[in-house]
């Protein structure tokens, strides 16, 4: 009787399979946090760039009249188009007067109010018509202020210095720290200043800046406390606290 030689079975043993799975798990544990950190850094760079555009648009609006203009506290309308009662209206002032109609710059992807928004995020705020009226996009009309990722000053002193804060990542507390629900989960935030420069502050309580908060009618009050300059007082106010 002739014996035939059996062919070895191909494939992985259980031990080999478990080893491969373990290696993949280790690599994933190393790479996933790195990818997350890269995405976060990219989002921060984008946010800084967006704030720079907003600050430039504000400067365009502020300096385009016969005298320095500021966004006043009050309801926006076709006739009172330099006033704002919330961040939606604040953004609309710049869309109307400075052509900053791109809605995307007002959202930070890591902001939970943005990521959890059930509707369609607007791409445009709207358009200014030839007759001076303004038509909002349907998507912009549908959103609420909490979806906007920034807070900003109203009733700014027309003679405020360049180091005065203008607009910043929302969630800033009066003690100079950001809440855990802020877009960077309490790790800090950006501030755009009147001179157009933007900085990221992990903790601004110890920052030393010469600021000039105050409304046009009350004059200028200098302070080295950046948090005090942007909290609600009798001389200056801000939206989306």
Q: CA–CA distance from 186 to each of 107, 124, 159, 193 (Å)?
A: 17, 29, 32, 21
Instruction: Give the model's pLDDT for residue 6.
Output: 56
Could you read off the pLDDT of 54-68 as tens digits, one per residue?
999 999 998 887 778
Could you read off the pLDDT of 185-200 as tens digits, one per residue?
888 899 898 889 998 8
Q: CA–CA distance from 60 to each of 40, 80, 180, 190, 195 (Å)?
A: 30, 18, 34, 21, 12
Stated pTM of the model: 0.76
Could you read off the pLDDT of 77-119 as tens digits, one per residue?
988 999 999 999 999 999 999 999 999 999 999 999 999 999 9
């Amino acid at each position: 009787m002739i014996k035939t030689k059996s062919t070895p079975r191909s494939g992985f043993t259980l031990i080999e399979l478990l080893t491969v799975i373990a290696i993949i798990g280790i690599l994933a544990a190393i790479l996933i946090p790195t990818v997350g950190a890269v995405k976060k850094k990219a989002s921060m760079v984008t946010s800084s760039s967006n704030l720079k555009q907003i600050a430039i648009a504000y400067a365009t609006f502020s300096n385009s009249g016969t005298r320095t203009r500021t966004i006043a506290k009050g309801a926006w309308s076709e006739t009172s188009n330099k006033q704002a009662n919330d961040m939606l209206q604040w953004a609309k002032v710049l869309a109307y007067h400075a052509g900053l109609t791109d809605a995307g710059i007002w959202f930070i992807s890591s902001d939970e109010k943005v990521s959890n928004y059930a509707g369609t995020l607007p791409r445009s705020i709207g358009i200014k018509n030839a007759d001076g009226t303004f038509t909002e996009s349907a998507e912009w009309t549908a959103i609420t202020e909490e979806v906007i990722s920034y807070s900003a000053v109203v009733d700014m002193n027309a003679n405020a210095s360049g180091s005065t804060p203008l607009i910043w990542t929302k969630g800033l507390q009066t003690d100079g720290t950001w809440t855990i629900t802020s877009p960077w989960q309490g790790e800090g935030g950006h501030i755009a200043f009147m001179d157009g420069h933007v900085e990221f502050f992990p903790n601004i309580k110890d920052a030393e800046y010469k600021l000039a908060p105050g409304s046009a009618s009350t004059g200028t009050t200098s302070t080295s406390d950046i948090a005090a300059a942007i909290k609600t007082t009798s001389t200056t106010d801000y939206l989306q606290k």
